[in-house]
Amino acid sequence: MSRVDLHIHTTASDGVLSPAQVVQAAVEKGLIAIAITDHDTTDGLDEAAEAAAGTGLEVIPGIELSAEQGDQEIHILGYYLDHRDAALRDKLGVLRHARRERAWRMVDRLAGMGMPVSWERVVRIAGDTSAFGRPHIARALRDSGFVGSIDEAFDRYIGLRGPAYVARYKLSPEEALRIIADSGGLPVLAHPWRHEEIVPRLVTAGLAGLEAYYPRYSTDESRMLARLAQRHGLIATGGSDFHGYDDGAAQSLGEVPVPERSVERLRALATRRGPEDAA
């Protein structure tokens, strides 16, 4: 159990709990700092900040962008970005449009395979979000009775090599870094295990941190990643990648041990790079 969790999804993208519910759960668990890092959207940040007001919980504004390098998916987290930045909002809008179109194509493909999940059902499950993701389709497949669990949906149909998988437009890692940095944020490489070779290149492009603490990373793996971070002058961060699935694969809020010093270092760097630098 840890008092900080810097990787959390909400209903603003493919999580199950609303931003306010995540904040409430974090307060109940005694966390002192969380970051909301939804896929390609900052729509949950204001609700989370409002819910946290007066509780003593720090809510760090964040995001998680999906990028692609060869056949690898590279995810970049961004912390302390200015989510009111107009250019940021425009770019995220483009990414979310591509997500919606891709979700529709996956539904179409499933129908062709004899699994007519209705688009209306997917839209209903997605709720208020415009950041459609595979978990919404997985839940629709499960609710329609075509699979027994979220995991089965990924394993059999919509995982990377699954028959209903459709790729979507993805940024290059450098583009993702730039989007975050241009809106005043600190870019951090998410779940970097087996993506270590890209680290030097991303450091040159302005990477600020490395997610060394992550579910299923052993103590040894985390230690190796923390050492890698240190060698490159990066901040070692971490989080649970909480989505709140009501499924076996669920990761619990605050269940990954993340050093509180991660937050202090991120905050200090964000402050140092703050308004006076940007001016």
Per CB under 6 A, does 150 bind ligand AMP? yes
Rounded to a whole number of angstroms, the minimum distance from the CB of residue 47 to ligand AMP is 20
Q: Which amino acid, one-letter code, is at 46? A: D
Contacts of 220 (CB under 8 A, 6+ apart): none
CA atoms within 13 A on the CB side of 131: 24
The one of Zn ion, ligand AMP, Fe ion, none whose footprint includes residue 184, by CB under 5 to 8 A per kind, is none
Rounded to a whole number of angstroms, the minimum distance from the CB of residue 56 to Fe ion is 25
Cβ proximity to ligand AMP, 17 vs 57, nearer residue? 17
CA atoms within 13 A on the CB side of 72: 15
Restricting to residues 34-73, name those near Fe ion by CB under 5 A: 64
Angle between the N-to-C axes of helices 119-126 and 134-143, in degrees from 0 to 180, rounded to the nearest 10: 120
Quick one: which of 15, 47, 65, 75 contacts Fe ion (CB under 5 A)? 75
Q: Which stretch binds Zn ion (CB under 5 A): 1-9, 108-116, 247-255, 259-267?
A: 1-9
Quick one: which of 91, 243, 254, 256 contacts ligand AMP (CB under 6 A)? 243
Cβ proximity to ligand AMP, 68 vs 82, nearer residue? 68
Per CB under 5 A, does 195 bind Fe ion? no
Strands (E), 196-256: 209-213, 235-238
Cβ proximity to ligand AMP, 146 vs 154, nearer residue? 154
CB burial class (10 A; 0-12, 13-18, 19+) of residue 236? buried
Query: Which neighbouring-strand residues pair with 76?
Result: 65, 189
Restricting to residues 19-48, name those near ligand AMP by CB under 6 A: 39
Restricting to residues 124-143, name those near ligand AMP by CB under 6 A: 133-135
Rounded to a whole number of angstroms, the minimum distance from the CB of residue 171 to Zn ion is 16
Quick one: which of 7, 10, 14, 76 contacts Zn ion (CB under 5 A)? 14
Per CB under 6 A, does 154 bind ligand AMP? yes
Secondary structure element (H or E) that encloses residue 66, with its range = strand 58-69
Which residue's structure tokens are 């809020």?
A: 253
What is the secondary structure of 74-104 as a DSSP string? Answer: EEEEEES--TT-HHHHHHHHHHHHHHHHHHH
Tell me the C-alpha distance between 155 and 26, whole Å.
31
**Residues of this chain that bind ligand AMP (CB under 6 A):** 14, 39, 66, 133-135, 150-151, 154, 243, 249
**Residues of this chain that bind Zn ion (CB under 5 A):** 9, 14
